[in-house]
Amino acid sequence: MTPQDVAALTAIAAIVKQIGAWPMISVFMLVTVGPWLGMWWFTRIYEKRHAAVVTMYTDNVSLVKSFEKIAASLQDVVILNTQAMQGIKESVDNNIYCPIMRKDPKVEKAL
């Protein structure tokens, strides 16, 4: 060891003796254990966020399934309404519900 190294070690020993060992141990623990605790804490936060995202996607899947059921029943309603409107159109075209219009010569020529 060089004299400079010995002087540095002597200075460090004097500082530790002056302030005590507990603050030095605390700083050492903070430097070594602190990052591990921080990573554990952030990991827990991200696990909770991931669980919330998984729940959201699960809820979205159930929403899509219920929407498919509604869409299927809506398709039946649209088909029935289209058939009813087709019947109304045929009735209007054939003019079977209005005897006055049937006797009008202008309407008979148009048909």
Q: Mind spelling out the 3-state secondary structure of 62-104?
A: HHHHHHHHHHHHHHHHHHHHHHHHHHHHHHHHHCCCCHHHHHC
Residues whose CB falls within 8 Å of the CB of residue 47, separated by 6 or more in sequence, listed in order: none
What is the tens place of the pLDDT at every residue in 35-46? 999 999 999 999
Cα 19 from chain centroid (whole Å): 54
Please check whether residue 101 is in contact with residue 107, taking contact to mean a CB–CB distance below 8 angstroms.
yes
Reply yes or no on whether the pLDDT at 98 is more than 70: no
Tell me the pTM.
0.44
Please check whether residue 11 is in contact with residue 3, taking contact to mean a CB–CB distance below 8 angstroms.
no
Range of the domain at 94: 3-110
**What pLDDT, on a 0 to 100 scale, did the predictor assign at position 103?**
65
- Mean pLDDT for the stretch of residues 71-91: 88
φ, ψ dihedrals at 48, nearest 5°: -65, -40
Please state the domain count of the chain. Answer: 1
For residue 97, give both structure tokens: 């519900």
Residues whose CB falls within 8 Å of the CB of residue 108, separated by 6 or more in sequence, listed in order: 102
Please check whether residue 49 is in contact with residue 56, taking contact to mean a CB–CB distance below 8 angstroms.
no
**What pLDDT, on a 0 to 100 scale, did the predictor assign at position 60?**
94
